[in-house]
Amino acid sequence: MIKPEDAEFHFDANSHWQWVETIALPFHVPDTTINGIVYVVTRPMLGVAMCDVSLHDRVADLWEEQLYIDNQQHLPCPKSLLDFELPNGLKIKALDAYKHYQIEYEGIDDTRFKLDFRALHEPFDINDPDMDPTAAKRLDPAWDTSWNGHYDLTYRVTGELVARGKRYEINCVDTGDRSWGPRPERDNSSVIWWHASFDEALTVHLFTGHDIAKTSRMAPHISGYVLDQGEMYGLTDSRGVQEYRRAVPVGGELEVTDTRGKTFAMTYSALNACYWAPYPSNTYLQSFMRVNCNGLRGYGVQQMGLSRAYLTRHRDAIKARY
């Protein structure tokens, strides 16, 4: 069970030198191809932090073809995750632990935003069997030690974005997360972080494995939930298949089943997509999606996390498949 204090750092003097704590807060501009992410990765035992502020707006081969990128790898680690400012112009303040964040960013190239994130439910703890029906079957964290602690949370996001001088109103529903634990990065297993929201009527969020070098099918199911009319239910199963453009996901079909036995079938296609590389040793094959579910139309994001070791080890197989 997640507690308000879990919004703050968890490390102590005896923590592993690879200890990492992250904050991921995505958002998007409805009726456009634009989505963004604020991603902070702290390494408190080393005293450094990575911060990525990215705005994506097209299907592209290169990350650098996207609307805006501000990725910095060696910023000073903040003293607290509840109220801090980084030298890249980002300010994050938790007004009510994990339930309410205010974010301000003053970037370069006439780009800035001020956003308000308000949680729509209690955090989903992927390591709590009372929430996640798959947690009791696991002997280890859901995705190596990086997720010794992890929760996901769907937010109503409001505010204003200025991207290269053009103003956009932000009023969307999106899903972010928090993680903490030792994060080696060198050879992580493959995982897809996938979510879609149909305003506040429905959100589907899941983790699934995916061996892209061998198959286009998603498996095995790892974790997830649906937020159905404000009520949260853990997922018991998920199954899907994806379409790719040069190994970047651009569409697919997905079906999930929750603890009530209720099934949600979705189809989706990419509004933007690219290789996203916030880490030196990991890359994410990412897409922002238009999603359809039983007559509902929404937006979603998927990030397929792959280590560079995996990509180079299977480079020939991946090239041959895609």
**Average confidence (pLDDT) over 280-309:** 94
- Model confidence over 124-154: pLDDT tens digits? 999 999 999 998 787 665 456 666 899 999 9
* CATH code for the domain defined by 16-321: 2.40.370.10
Domain ranges of the chain: 16-321
Sign, CA torsion 216/301/245/188? negative
- Model confidence over 17-48: pLDDT tens digits? 999 999 999 999 999 999 999 999 999 999 99
- Model confidence over 55-106: pLDDT tens digits? 999 999 999 999 999 999 999 999 999 999 999 999 999 999 999 999 999 9
- Model confidence over 81-94: pLDDT tens digits? 999 999 999 999 99
Half-sphere exposure of 256 (CA within 13 A, CB side): 27
**% of the chain with per-residue pLDDT over 70:** 97
pLDDT band, very low/low/confident/very high, at 282 (cuts 50, 70, 90): confident
Query: What are the phi and psi torsion angles at 316 (to 5°)?
Result: -70, -40
Q: What pTM, to 2 d.p., does this model score?
A: 0.96
